[in-house]
Amino acid sequence: MVALPQRSVPTYADSLAFEAKAMALRGLRFLSEKFTAEPVIRHGRSSRLAAAPVLGRASSPLWTNLAGARDRELTAGKVQNLRMALKGLDGVEVPAGAVLSFWKQVGRASRARGYVPGRELREGCLIASVGGGLCQLSNALYEAALAAGLEIVERHAHSRVVPGSRAQLGRDATVFWNYVDFRIRSPHAFRIEATMSRDRLEIVLRGHGRANATDLPTETPPAGPAVHDCTQCGQENCHRNDPERPLRASVPTAWLVDARWPEFTALLKQRAGSEDALFLPSRRLGAARYGWPAGVVGSETTATIATLRRSLALRGATGGSLQAKALQGDARLAAAYAAKLSHRHTHLVVSQNLLPHLWLSGALQGRSFEVLMERLPLAVLQARLDAAASRHPESPTLADFRAPEAIVAAESNALAAADRLLTPHAEIASLEPFRTHLLDWSPARPLPAVKGARTLLFPASPLGRKGAYALREALYGLPVELAVKGQARESLGFWGNMPVRLLAPGETPATLAGVVLPALVEHQPRLLLAALAAGLPVIATPACGLHARPGLTLVPEDDPAALRLAIAALLG
């Protein structure tokens, strides 16, 4: 690191004088808006213009030329500040002739509202300041407004030009609460879409009417005095000096998890580092369900209250009501995690059921993330159930629940933005083979049964999504008894006079001809794995997520003829 030439450095008195001047100017702005200026209101979200043509757009990178750990931390702080500010701008629609004020929409950047230290240009120095970095947002909004031909009501250029910044092209608009504002207006209503991908800030303006387009500035403004970066300027006698440290090789990962799968706990043990953080539902409740390994990461965060509320809500719920309440509980758990995430957590590993809620909250913006895939994507899952319901309209369960469209769309968008998908389920992995890391299913304890007799085990509740209709048709007239493991059912008398025995909880016949599960949907084939480990033949569908292996026969979903042939071959 090369130190810049020594210069006159700011003193504490200089800083106090600046704050006093800023307070006076904030007061004058407040009085001006209250008593003399045209009222400026905060505009709300709407979707009326969501499909309107694009009038202008701007994009800028989030992470550039990181010099070290302190630089990375301040950049992560900037991204967090942008994440908070976007909540006041994304989806906002401004009526024709109304003024949009940056600060009226965003509000004051304070620690209490979730803002953290980021880099801010003040008095010729790039310093660490709470809310620092918001100028990247006002710069992008200004550039998009110029491209859209909007009227620039108020705009202030930076006092110094940082090399490589928008200011070097004359496309900057600095902001400083509350007296240095950025304001725009249009004779036609317009919409703002302000989002972040993992590495870029994106601003899009939409509307049906368009003012005269404004040529984007191309001339480079005078550079002025050099800008000093407090992490690298070498002014050791300055109270703002914040020297850089060597760059750490790894970036801390936050693991946002829910129910424990043995395959995912093995992944955590393999990959997690001492600087990682584990967000889990509870250490006090549901030890078997939430018993993720302890002592693997540097810190743990729990959400016991959200977990308890979900557990109480799910008691006694069945069918569609169960799924709806589970969705609400997942949303509360995701919100509890998001509230406790640090801006330093720039990479996440997320359980799939939390994914759409984190996406809608904006917590994933500006972050890279991987997904622990526990089920089919909602869009695929619901389309499969819809098709099955059309084939079996008499079923009371195949169409009993569908997630809201906003949740389905949020999950689809989040999955498309994910770096990588992680799952042991072969069918789920086949949907995105180039982005999915297929894990091994964990070894299963063998099912306590031996091969013999003419009893088939159905290791699930006899529901439509588990292939009950295909199985009923396939078994008709065959000399075989069916032992059913689950308690839920499609309807009374579903099996008619067929030889079917409902097993008590925990019961497994000592002797079995084999195990059959022609499921349309099966995400955790634990009993199939246990049967294979015991040397029992298994008939299943690709939806069960198992690769071809000795003892396993795969048949198509909802194909009674193919299923009957496989059962007949198994019985000999």
Where exactly are the structural domains of the chain? 12-229, 253-438, 450-571
Name beta bridge partners: 93: 191
Q: Which residues of 213-222 are buried (b: 16+ CB within 10 A; e: fewer)?
A: eeeebeeeee
**CA 44, CA 62: separation in Å to the nearest integer?**
26
Residue 411's pLDDT is 98
Is the pLDDT assigned to residue 11 strictly greater than 90?
Answer: no
Residue 229's pLDDT is 54
Please report which confidence band the pLDDT of residue 4 belongs to, taking 50, 70 and 90 as the band edges: very low
Residue 305's pLDDT is 96
Supply the pTM of this predicted model.
0.87
Alpha-helical regions (H) of 392-467: 405-417, 426-431
Please report which confidence band the pLDDT of residue 73 belongs to, taking 50, 70 and 90 as the band edges: confident
3-state secondary structure of 139: helix
Range 306-325 average pLDDT: 90
- The tens digit of pLDDT for each residue in 339-350 reads 999 999 999 999
- The tens digit of pLDDT for each residue in 558-567 reads 999 999 999 9
Higher pLDDT, 6 or 20: 20
| Pair of tokens at residue 567 | 């059962």
Percent of the chain past pLDDT 90, that is, above it, reads 72
- Indicate the helix (H) or strand (E) that contains 555: none
Cα separation values, 547 from 61, 213, 376, 425, 515, Å: 42, 58, 16, 9, 16
Please report which confidence band the pLDDT of residue 237 belongs to, taking 50, 70 and 90 as the band edges: low
Closest alpha carbon to 94 in 258, 14, 206, 225: 206
Is the pLDDT assigned to residue 568 strictly greater than 90?
Answer: yes
**CA 43, CA 91: separation in Å to the nearest integer?**
10
Q: How far is CA 289 from the centre of its chain?
A: 22
- Whether domain 253-438 has CATH 3.40.50: the reply is yes
Range 355-374 average pLDDT: 97
- The tens digit of pLDDT for each residue in 482-536 reads 999 988 889 889 999 999 999 999 899 999 999 999 999 999 999 999 999 999 9
Sole residue written with tokens 């003024």: 99
Residue 303's pLDDT is 96
Average pLDDT, the chain: 88
8 Å CB contact between 373 and 440: no
Q: Do domains 253-438 and 450-571 have the same CATH topology?
A: yes
Is the pLDDT assigned to residue 19 strictly greater than 90?
Answer: no
Of 124-133, 275-284, 364-373, 470-479, the one with minimum mean pLDDT is: 124-133
Q: Residue 258 phi/psi, 5° resolution?
A: -130, -120
Is the pLDDT assigned to residue 261 strictly greater than 70?
Answer: yes
Q: Which fold has domain 450-571?
A: Rossmann fold (3.40.50)
Residue 29's pLDDT is 72
Residue 243's pLDDT is 57
